[in-house]
Chain A
Amino acid sequence: MLQKIAPILFVLLFASCVKDVDFDQAEDIAISPVVESSLIFFDFEAAQFSEPTGTEIVVEGDDLELDLFNDQFFRDNLTKVEFFFEVTNSIDRNFRADVTLFDANDQIQHAFAIDVVPDGNNEVEVTHTEVFEDALLEQLTNTKRLGFVLSMFPSPTGIPLDENSIGNIKMRSKATLFFLIDNE
């Protein structure tokens, strides 16, 4: 008996006098937070590059697990991702940073490179923005692993770097994630 009456009373007491409101609006909810996160960084002095000959390309690299973007939440709600890199170099050598994105089957999804041309031992700053949208974003969300390789090219003079060489190469980077969280 009460179980039948109570909801009716409740409705009479409350719902009937709720006016000029449209609760279906909640369906339109859409929020768009922007999240930034530090990514890769390093700082090397010239003296740290052990170089036997000065004529070969010196390669330093590592693989990073990067399965964050795989997550269903990111797949559903990301609209755009930007990777921003800033490289500061005062070593008198050409450098190249290669970033390669691999999927679960070790297939390359996407690759890009940042070239750094020196100005003697003066500080040179190079920035690079990689934007992932649409098809590229899809490739990013398939990514499981990020390969990072820094290559140092030989000097024109052929003189190897040693502990007395000056200058350093520095990288800072961040990812900016643009979300659109809605009811779809």
Chain B
Amino acid sequence: MKKLSFIFLFLTCFAFAQNKQLLYNYTDIPQSLLLNPGTEVNYKWHVGIPILSHIHASAGASGVTAYDLFADNGVNFNDKLRRVVYNLDRNDYFTVNQQLEILSGGFAFGNSYEPNKYLSFGLYQELDLHFYYPRDYAILALEGNQSNIGREFDLGDLNGKGELISVLHVGLTTKVNKKFTYGIRGKIYSSLLNFKSTNNRGTFVTTEGTNNFYNHTFDLDLELQTSGYASLIDLDNDGQNDWNKKAVKELRKRLLFGANLGLGLDFGFTYHPKEQWTVTGSVQDLGFIYHTKDVETYKLKGEYTFEGINPLFPNNGSGQTADEYWQEISDNFEDLFELDTISKNYISWRSPKLNGSVSYRYGKKNIKECNCTADEGDYLNEAGLQLFAIGRSRRPQFALSAFYRRQLFNFLSGKVTYAVDGFSKTNIGVGLSTHIGNVNFYIMADNLLEYQNLAKSNYASFQLGFNYIFPIKKK
């Protein structure tokens, strides 16, 4: 119970999501190429500082905050729990996303005077969890069926998936001309752990019976697919610590081409219809992982209506003996609730992401020495709108952001975003990127309005990273 409540706490407190509105199209930062391989590149080469080049974590819970449940306000915890259970919708969700770039780099090539291609590559690890709120299960657990006679509990409310993967990728960004740049990135996914329970169907309902008070009707079609899980459970266990160590070691082995592999694709573009206008778009993680090794699927399937037991024999007129009758009832229940464990290959689709933006740049820098304005392209301000969408098992989730980016000093730029999404209507984020010498450092955080008390926020994210960037020399 303690463990469970901790996990719940973790999920409600720090459910992480995937929108990186601060990093998107932040052309100073090489990691923006991961969101859109068609991002314009203005440097010769870059190397991410290993393990520190991109650290991202975000969490979100739509419809509920940690404060709703754990506020220290004298209200009984169970009253708060009840309120949360009833207020949330079955399409509310909890999500956690974390990424850690292990290695990354890139270099420009092509045309020797003005290289027009940029090859970027790297390896990162990603954890992604997404659960819908299993509303009918929660209500059944809270109330029982007594006050819900005639109500169909929808067992399809159970819908969640999780993955721990590593991604090896290489992308090519091509600048066609001043107006148009496009890019494409191929990815090889190695799955460390995966589970998926997204196609559940079924109902449980108690109705007024004819022969007895109630008919209890079970119609179950539930499935949990796992890969990389069975072998972890089977590890020798000499105490929890020992198991943890072995499990981490085992997972590390799977980091590169370890077990189950998949393929994915990103593509995107940047286009300037006019000099100061920018339109961008990208699709990320259009891909899948094919799970064939260490797979285990757990299945519950069956239909049965139970109206009670007719104990008097042989008078019930069915011609069955008491033993046969009993056997039939217990067989029915066993069949219904027996968890079938099968080894079955399966495909898990990654959650594809769509990004788009329209923006306007303005305000050229005055250069004192020549009393003129800076080169074309060196605008100080950029303002625009960004759209983000991610495909999830029931329906896509959207976020719309307005942003403003400004070159504050030669070495420092900043970006402010205002985002509206399923978590919040007032999400303000700030990102800063510095270039001191050739070292680039960036840090970004979200939901600043709620920052003084994150417990009240539905969503929070942060990312930071260090790169070594070798700029293109100004002529």
Contacts and interface: CB of A to CB of B under 8 A. Distances in A.
A22 B145 CA distance: 32
Nearest to B4: A26
A90 B453 CA distance: 70
B73 A20 contact: yes
Given A23-B70, A36-B146, A174 B212 contact: yes
A36 B145 contact: yes
B55 interface: yes
A116 B83 CA distance: 47
A41 interface: yes
For A21, A49, A177, the residue with the greatest tally of chain B CB atoms inside 10 Å of its CB is A21
Contact of A61 (B81, B312, B452): B312
A37 B454 CA distance: 44
Given A28-B78, A40-B309, A14 B460 contact: yes
A21 B311 CA distance: 55
A116 to B, nearest CB: 15
For B216, B311, B313, the residue with the greatest tally of chain A CB atoms inside 10 Å of its CB is B311
Interface in A155-174: 172-174
Contact of A173 (B146, B212, B452): B212
Contacts of B77: 25-26, 28-29
Contact of B307 (A9, A29, A38, A148): A38
Contacts of A62: 311-313, 322
A135 interface: no
B315 A60 contact: yes
A38 B69 CA distance: 36
B308 to A, nearest CB: 4
Given A10-B57, A19-B452, A179-B144, A38 B66 contact: no
A48 B209 CA distance: 23
A72 interface: no
For A13, A34, A39, A49, the residue with the greatest tally of chain B CB atoms inside 10 Å of its CB is A13
Nearest to B78: A30
Contacts of A65: 326, 330
Interface string B299-331: 000000011111111011100001000100010
B434 interface: no
Interface string B130-162: 000000000011111111010000000000000
Contact of B71 (A13, A21, A31, A148): A21
B142 A34 contact: no
B206 A42 contact: no
Given A20-B455, A65-B326, A26 B5 contact: yes
Contacts of A38: 209, 212-216, 306-308
B275 to A, nearest CB: 39
Nearest to B461: A13
Contacts of B177: none
Interface in B55-80: 55, 57, 66-67, 69-73, 76-78, 80
A183 B1 contact: yes
A17 interface: yes
A48 B306 contact: no
A35 interface: yes
B455 A19 contact: yes
A42 B311 contact: yes
B337 interface: no
B13 interface: yes
B452 A14 contact: no
Contacts of B306: 37-38
Given A21-B67, A62-B322, A44 B212 contact: no
Contacts of B211: 41, 43, 172
Given A61-B312, A62-B313, A26 B455 contact: no
A33 interface: yes
A40 B211 CA distance: 10
Interface in B10-37: 13-14
A40 B209 CA distance: 12
B408 interface: no
B70 A25 contact: yes
Contacts of A148: 311-312
A31 B310 CA distance: 33
Nearest to A181: B141
A26 B8 contact: yes
Contacts of B147: 34
Interface string A136-157: 0000000000001010000000
B218 interface: no
Contacts of A174: 212-214, 308
B307 A41 contact: yes
A183 B8 CA distance: 15
A29 B460 CA distance: 26
A19 B453 contact: yes
Contact of B213 (A34, A173, A177): A173
A2 interface: yes
27 contacts: A14-B14, A17-B451, A20-B73, A21-B70, A21-B71, A22-B70, A26-B5, A27-B5, A30-B78, A31-B81, A31-B141, A33-B141, A33-B144, A34-B143, A36-B145, A36-B213, A38-B212, A39-B212, A39-B308, A40-B310, A44-B312, A61-B311, A64-B309, A172-B213, A173-B212, A173-B213, A183-B1
Given A39-B212, A42-B312, 15 more contacts: A2-B52, A17-B452, A18-B453, A18-B455, A21-B67, A21-B71, A25-B77, A36-B146, A37-B306, A38-B209, A39-B308, A40-B308, A44-B315, A61-B312, A64-B326
